[in-house]
Chain A
């Protein structure tokens, strides 16, 4: 791959592409979109399905994107991106990026079929899933990426259940199983790692996918100023991980550094406040199982 200048917080463009939108203060999703657009630049055609980022960025007549952007149907982001790519290529605009920004629900649940189709076709599109671990736009309902024990409005914590009863769907590996050209996980708590991955994705010939852990103060019950530090801590204590899939190979970018922070980390968040020790044990053992497996297979 050609050696191009590494984009960092210091040298990245001052130009804003996603601004004046109505996302909550401390929104991890909007940070993910903002940083991505600084890497991809003005020759980008973006599609965003129904979800928080489209809801806050396209309120007529105030549009938040400087570049071309369109709201896709909730299930149809992958295929709308394919159509945009095909149209641009047919009209001779090859030197452009076609990028999707979709929430966890729009990606892992209702949009999975269209996304699978796009990856299967090897279309030259970049798909970014900002994972705030629930359907936020409709009022914090459980999605396929909501972790075990999360209190949402459809997985309440009560006498009988401690919130969501299933673990997160393993979307990164589902995407990789398509033998996609490039896939990565990231976190808004590790911006440089994310910037590197965005730069890689921008150069990929086929389909690329980045799954970024994106804190949501409103849905998670956290204070806005802890949004970035909690996204970092989630990686440090192993509830999320930084990894890549490239040339048909997985790679872990960061080892598990602070497993002991798990309980403290969980209890800082309103959505986990109700968890009892036995629930935390379930989460812990699932984390350990997952890490043991990842280290063995990809480490």
Chain B
């Protein structure tokens, strides 16, 4: 890449960071179909395959359904497979996503978070990936380009762990992360090679041990497979922690595993976020803290498996919790909000919790908006004592929905 600054540090976009991460992970097969704002990933990967710096087979599929289908074919013969998509493309893959997780194929996919039509919008929100939350894929949401690159490498190691064997989706906020340039440190290939061993799995077709895969089950057997799938996803939590720690030891950067908390220890008001908006929220917290308000922040890194225990530990005794969702499950509330409340319901105390719907279709979320959210939380604690308050609030629209 031309924008090289030093041997290790480059000035690149989030998409390019993913592409560089993929190259370092040495996949055998890449199958992908273009969609904004993911395109730069597949363009860079194509160039790397062309110039020989990436020794992978690039399959020009005719659709996202086939991108996933080809990745599954590659994975089923024991090859390391990568794909990338966004929005409409992700939904077009929906059948294959459940298929890949049920088949325990550790495919890694980058998803550029983008709104879903209608109305058409190429800009970011989380409605695409959250609508696939139940598809059996591990889902991580990254905050910046460095984390995007690092997680691309970690993703293969976690997904391919024998105890996990579960496909892995890395989510980058469309445009905000995919197209923003940042200084990124590029790990050494030799270090990556020792961190990420060659892919080996017993779950494959091979000449030594011919196998039938993708079979059907009767009601007498199906639940056992689904239980194993669920268990593997739960077991992935420990692997996520250990892989993140190991990554930290080797590369000097780790991310806190399932979630990352900021000023939560003594916080009265905590906001829960996912993805790039966390960066904005950190500044809001700094501002509030300087004014003596005990604000805290939890970045949910993983949404599947869900960091329920970690969340309870981090936010056990705050006064109020806000959840910022770039998503709405029409007719109810934001999906992250539902998940957070379900985790907190296991605590003996009942929190004041409010859902803030923001950033749909790429609408900007400012530092001021987030400071306003904390103010809402503070007011809800006061008002909530004797009056009910709106549970779901659309930020920047003056609309509140009573819960």
Contact = CB atoms under 8 A, between A and B. Distances in A.
Given A82-B70, A84-B76, A117-B63, A73 B207 contact: no
Interface stretch (A62-70, A224-232, A273-281): A62-70
A126 B210 CA distance: 19
Contact of A87 (B63, B66, B73): B73
Contact of B215 (A42, A58, A67, A83): A58
Q: Which one of B71, B72, B99 has the greatest number of beta carbons of chain A within 10 Å? A: B72
Contacts of B75: 83, 87
Interface stretch (A89-97, A189-197, A254-262, A282-290): A89-97
B218 to A, nearest CB: 7
B56 interface: yes
Contacts of A176: none
B206 interface: yes
Interface in B176-218: 205-207, 210-218
B365 interface: no
A59 B62 contact: no
A83 B73 contact: yes
A71 B103 CA distance: 10
A117 B77 contact: no
A205 interface: no
Contact of B218 (A60, A75, A87): A60
A237 interface: no
A24 B206 CA distance: 30
A35 interface: no
Nearest to B207: A43
Interface string A14-36: 00000000000000000000000
A90 B57 contact: yes
A83 B205 CA distance: 13
Nearest to B211: A68
B77 A113 contact: no
A81 B70 CA distance: 7
Q: Is the interface of A mostly helix, strand, loop or mixed?
A: mixed
Contacts of A78: 66
Given A55-B216, A79-B73, A87 B210 contact: no
A17 B75 CA distance: 23
Contacts of B61: 79, 82, 117
A114 B74 contact: no
B372 to A, nearest CB: 46
B66 A117 contact: yes
Nearest to B27: A90
B70 A60 contact: no
Nearest to B76: A70
Interface residues of B, number: 42
A25 B259 CA distance: 58
A70 B70 contact: no
A70 B216 contact: no
Contacts of B78: 87, 91
A121 B73 contact: no
A73 B74 CA distance: 14
B60 interface: yes
B69 A65 contact: no
Contacts of A72: 69, 72-73, 214
Given A87-B28, A90-B56, A117-B62, A76 B76 contact: no
A47 B57 contact: no
Q: Which one of B59, B77, B206, B211 has the greatest number of beta carbons of chain A within 10 Å? A: B77
A222 interface: no
Contacts of A71: 213-216
B84 to A, nearest CB: 15
A83 B212 contact: no
Contacts of A199: none
A82 B59 contact: yes
Contacts of B62: 79, 113-114, 116-117, 120
A45 interface: yes
A90 B96 contact: no
B96 A83 contact: no
A18 B68 CA distance: 27
B98 to A, nearest CB: 10
Nearest to A80: B73
A60 B217 contact: yes
Given A55-B216, A86-B59, A76 B66 contact: yes
Contacts of A88: 77, 79
B221 interface: yes
Contact of A83 (B74, B206, B207): B74
Contact of A86 (B29, B96, B99): B29
Contacts of B216: 54-55, 58-60, 71
B278 interface: no
B42 interface: no
Given A58-B212, A76-B69, A84-B76, A89 B57 contact: yes
Interface in A83-138: 83-91, 93, 96, 113-114, 116-117, 120-121
Contacts of A86: 28-29, 31, 57, 59, 70, 73-74, 79
9 contacts: A43-B207, A59-B217, A72-B73, A76-B66, A80-B72, A83-B59, A83-B72, A87-B76, A93-B207
Given A68-B211, A86-B29, A90-B29, 19 more contacts: A65-B210, A68-B206, A69-B205, A69-B212, A70-B76, A70-B214, A71-B214, A76-B66, A79-B70, A80-B70, A84-B74, A84-B205, A86-B59, A87-B73, A90-B74, A91-B77, A91-B79, A93-B207, A114-B65
Interface of B: 28-29, 31, 56-57, 59-63, 65-79, 81, 95-96, 99, 205-207, 210-218, 221
